[in-house]
Amino acid sequence: MEHLLTHIINYHPLPEAAKNALANCLVKKTMAKNELLLTEGRVCRHLYFLEKGALRGFYNLDGKEITHWFAFENDFVTSFHSFTTGKPAVENIQLLEGSVLWAISKEDITELFNQHHEIERLVRIAYEKYYIRLEERFVNAQFKTAKELYETLLIHNPHIIERVSLGCIASYLGISQETLSRIRGQF
């Protein structure tokens, strides 16, 4: 957990009191490959920090599973829309590998925000980074060819290619499995 906190305060340093308060709210959760952390239709009431392992968020579209994000070591994980609005999730969260997570409930984090301005600041700053990441993905998705998308992933997120199946990667990039397989064959 110490290691995890070190990563969290990378976003923004926290005073000892805030750091301890946060640590006290975190509950460890260990899950096995393929298990679901969240099922479509349920409200996501927790924010998670991924200490070890890998996850994906996916939703169903015309009977196909569309993976729209991956999470790895030290990432924040939640169904963002559901967690922030309190509405049922449209997505599922699944374990791609056996993983160790630390959970914090929405109530607890709300209380932490009230007690520790610096924790809300940390989250505000984390949001900025996540927003920028999403913007980049968006720009790529809109104007790059399938091959360019794969090359970009290979350069910037090689861990995804190493740890995730081809089918998941294809839908993540917004291309068909067959196209991705053909592209990969060229390398």
Partner DNA sequence: TGTGCTTTTTGACGAATGTCAAAAAATAGT
Partner DNA sequence: ACTATTTTTTGACATTCGTCAAAAAGCACA
Give the interface with DNA as residue ranges (CB under 7 A): 145-147, 165-167, 174-182, 184-185
For CA atoms 77, 81, 83, 88, the dihedral sign is negative
The DSSP code sequence of 6-70 is HHHTTTS---HHHHHHHHHH-EEEEE-TT-EEE-TTSB--EEEEEEES-EEEEEEETTEEEEEEE
Minimal distance in Å, beta carbon 147 to DNA?
Answer: 5
Binding its own copies (rule: CB under 8 A), the pick from 48, 49, 72, 80 is 80
For residue 17, what are the CA distances in angstroms to 6, 115, 141? 15, 10, 42
Minimal distance in Å, beta carbon 177 to DNA?
Answer: 5
Distance of CA 132 to the CA centre of its chain: 14
Residue 73 near residue 80 (C-beta atoms within 8 A): no
Question: Token digits for 116?
Answer: 């520790």
Looking at the Cβ atoms of 82 and 99, the one nearer to DNA is 99
- Contact code string over 110-149 relative to its own copies, x by CB under 8 A: ---x---x--xx-xx--xx-xxx-xx-xxx-xxx------
111 contact choice in DNA, its own copies, none (CB below 5 to 8 Å, kind-dependent): none
Per CB under 8 A, 60 contacts its own copies: no
For CA atoms 61, 38, 52, 136, the dihedral sign is positive
106 contact choice in DNA, its own copies, none (CB below 5 to 8 Å, kind-dependent): none
**Residues binding its own copies: number (CB under 8 A):** 27
Looking at the Cβ atoms of 27 and 61, the one nearer to its own copies is 61
Residue ranges that bind its own copies, judged by CB under 8 A = 61, 66, 68, 80-81, 84-85, 113, 117, 120-121, 123-124, 127-128, 130-132, 134-135, 137-139, 141-143, 174
